[in-house]
Structure 1
């Protein structure tokens, strides 16, 4: 299979806030997940005792890693899409379709931020704790609305760059 020359020629987008931040945080999250999981496996192997509580941390880190990856995908324009019809449009209509997709992305994550904030507030207000460790649940959940806002801001930044013609 040959590489698409248009994909290989595409330059890295240059947002004002570097995406290295999200990349570094995602790398830290996956490294922490690896350490936690490795420690659990070694402990189980050597002592026949499972560190079941580590699952809470691993799941929380997985959510954080997913949201950070989504943010990077928005900036780099690597989100999943089906372009059968869009590829057949004139360049101006293609740009409008891209701006529409960016607007929908921003709206979806804005909704996730709003409803996620309500959920976090309820967890804080009702003092919900996690089932395994008894940690306040909002500590895990707060990252959903926070990172959703980051994705909204990244989508808006990409929308501005596309509208200006800086990106496709």
Structure 2
């Protein structure tokens, strides 16, 4: 494993992705920053005035889901996703590459399924005019992020799969 966190892992595709990874990194960082600001403001307000901004929890949860999905997209591109390496490290380079390709295909399929069912979920929220409990805003504004970012992760996994397949041999 490389000391540089931005460097791809050992089994990662050699060529860089066509779409810059900075997009997801910046949006994940912005989500984290907004969660920190909202939480800090809530703590200060509660401390100095005994008033709680409990309704901000809706925004914080939505931003944490967004941040997690952007982070998952970055992890897929950098080949930093969770895996069990005990058996894979014992394989030959050819079989290790095949295992990595299978892993990327499984990630793509799983997030494609999540995008389809997430879309149905968001559409139901829209169709039935579901509103959030605290703020009363349309719930689909929160739930729409799941299918959208699942499509992004699916695309990133498919891109990594193509780069792995193009690497050939070992």
TM-score by length of 2: 0.91
Query: Equivalent residue for 1:148?
Result: 150
Give the secondary structure class of the aligned counterpart of 1:72.
helix
Distance 1:123 1:17, change over 3 A: same
SS at match of 2:135: coil
Counterparts of 2:16 and 2:97 in 1: how far apart (Å)? 19
Residue in structure 1 matched with residue 12 of structure 2 by the alignment = none
**CA distance in structure 2 between the partners assigned to 1:35 and 1:98 by the alignment:** 39
Which residues of structure 2 form unaligned runs of 5+?
9-14
Q: Give the Cα separation in 1 of the matches to 2:7 and 2:75.
A: 14
Contact 2:115-2:148 within 8 A present in 1 as well: yes
Using the alignment, how far apart are the partners of 2:3 and 2:23 within structure 1?
A: 24
Higher RCO, 1 vs 2 (CA within 8 Å, ≥6 residues apart): 2
Give the distance between the partners of 2:147 and 2:86, measured in 1 at CA: 33
**Alignment partner, residue 54 of structure 1:** 56
Q: Which runs of 4+ in 1 moved over 3 A?
A: 8-13
Which SS does the other structure have where 2:46 is aligned? Answer: helix
Q: RMSD of the alignment, in Å?
A: 1.7
Distance 1:26 1:114 in 2: 23
Alignment partners' CA distance in 2, 1:33 and 1:108: 28
Q: Residues 7 and 78 of structure 2 are in contact (CA less than 8 Å); yes or no, is this contact kept in structure 1? A: no
Distance 2:144 2:98 in 1: 34
| Range 35-44 or range 86-95, more displaced | 86-95
Q: Report what 1:108 is aligned to.
A: 110
In structure 2, distance between residues paired with 1:126 and 1:69: 31
Task: Provide the aligned length of Structure 1 versus Structure 2.
Answer: 162
